[in-house]
Amino acid sequence: MEAWLSYLRNLDKRIWYVLLLLFALAFPWFIQSNYWISVAVVFGIWAILGLSLNIIVGYAGLFQLGHAAFWAVGAYTTAILNTRYGIPILVCMPISAVIAAIFAILISRPILHLRGDYLCIVTIGFGEIVRLFLFNDPFGITGGINGIRGIDRPSFFGITINTPLSYYYYVLFFLLITLVAMQRLENSRLGRAWTYVREDETAAETMGIDTVRVKMLAFAIGAAWAGVAGNIYASRYTVIAPETFSFWNSVVMFCIVVLGGTGSIPGIFVGTIGMVVLPELLRELPLLTQAFLGLLRAPLGALGGFGAVEQKLMMISKSIADNIPMWRMLIFGAAMVAMMIFRPEGLWPHWRYRLELRREEEAAPASVGTAGH
């Protein structure tokens, strides 16, 4: 009976995976809209970025608020190699990853032994330095404020990826590879070492884990993956500019990881929907309100004589529609605060985090909180 139940449970999980995969594969057919396929591509790129940052923030527990810099290094490496030397996009991909990883090691090595919050400001600082470097263009290679245009599309075996639909599958492919890799990493010796370092650095060190090396590896692997995302991004849009790699986007990545549930892979997807897709939906809200009020218009018109009411309603709808783009970010900020207050462990937390927060509550029901930990 027991064995049978556990078999069912395992089977259940696998069925879910297969269903999700089928859904992802079939998505373009039933959505039938290039706009939404493009949104899905954006979602995929951000999910890869979120998963890459998850290694640093989620697994190793390091503050990293400059992840856009590694994304930028990857994108610019690809763009420069491709437009200047004609190196194919897919060959650029591993080069981007390696160069992003080298940058990560260079900046993280001297500061990894510092306290977490210092790491936070140094990563912010590095992000700003990279952005200014791209912007000021001291060696004449980054194209300054205009960025680089004319980046090739990826092509292999005579197939060129250039339509939204083909990009959808291209990104899906890399997303799946990332997912499998993350799953494997999380349960590997290194992944367990990260968890240990995150939970208690001193104890980890005592048990023979080289904490600085392990943290540096988290930085390097996370950065390499962001570099790959940069390569995909550069070839998707064929033009890149410094403003894409701003501090704001580092903040978005950080929020994807924490909102979804730190260290949790499904959480990253939920977080990406919240941070990237939801604002996109809010952008469409004026159209929806207008459509809704359009529906109201018919019965009002049928009743007749409600011209004034109808006019008033249309006026309100117009003012709502006009104001929503303005209120969008305000609502967004408030929602971030509310999310953290009501679910500090994230929307879809890793079981280890959930255990931690909830168990603490059970152990200490009175408010004997300290801020120090």
Partner 1 sequence: MDILLQQAINGLTIGAFYALIALGYTMVYGVLKLINFAHGDLFMLGAYMGLTLISMYLGAGMTSGIIWALLVIFILVMIAVAIAGVIMERVAYRPLRRAGRLAPVVSALGVSIFLENAVMIIYGPRYRMYPKGLIPEIQWNIAGAQVTLMQVLTLVISFFLMGALYYFVHYTRLGTAIRATAIDHDVARLMGINVDAIVSLVFILGPALGAAGGIMVGLYYGRINFVLGWGYGLKAFTAAILGGIGNIPGAMVGGMLLGIFETLAAGYIPQGGAWKDAISFFLLILILIVRPTGLLGERVVEKL
Which residues in this chain contact partner 1 in the complex, by CB under 8 A?
57, 63, 107, 110-111, 113-118, 120-122, 124-126, 128-129, 132-133, 135-136, 200-202, 247, 251, 254-255, 258-259, 262, 326-327, 329-330, 332-337, 339-341, 344-345, 356-357, 360, 368-373
Residue 309 C-alpha from the chain's centroid: 45
Count of other CB atoms within 10 angstroms of residue 61:
18
How many other CB atoms sit within 10 Å of the CB of residue 351?
Answer: 10
Nearer to partner 1 (CB atom), residue 299 or residue 365: 365
What is the closest distance, in whole angstroms, from the C-beta atom of residue 48 to partner 1 in the complex?
21
Pick the closer one to partner 1 by CB: 81 or 124: 124
Query: Is residue 239 within a helix (H) or strand (E), and if so which, with residue range?
Result: strand 239-240
The nearer residue to partner 1, 281 or 303, going by C-beta atoms, is 281
Measured from the CB atom, the residue of 83 and 262 that comes closer to partner 1 is 262
Neighbours of 169 (CB within 10 A): 14
d(CA 77, CA 96): 6
- Give the distance from CA 111 to its chain's centroid: 25
Residue 81 vs residues 84, 142, 159, 237: alpha-carbon distances, Å? 6, 11, 21, 16
For partner 1, the closer of residues 70 and 254 by Cβ is: 254
In angstroms, give the least distance from the CB of 177 to partner 1. 27
Contacts of 294 (CB under 8 A, 6+ apart): none
Nearest approach in angstroms of CB 66 to partner 1 is 10
CB of 131: closest distance to partner 1 in angstroms?
9
- Partners of residue 159 on adjacent β-strands: 156
CB of 174 to partner 1, least distance (A): 27
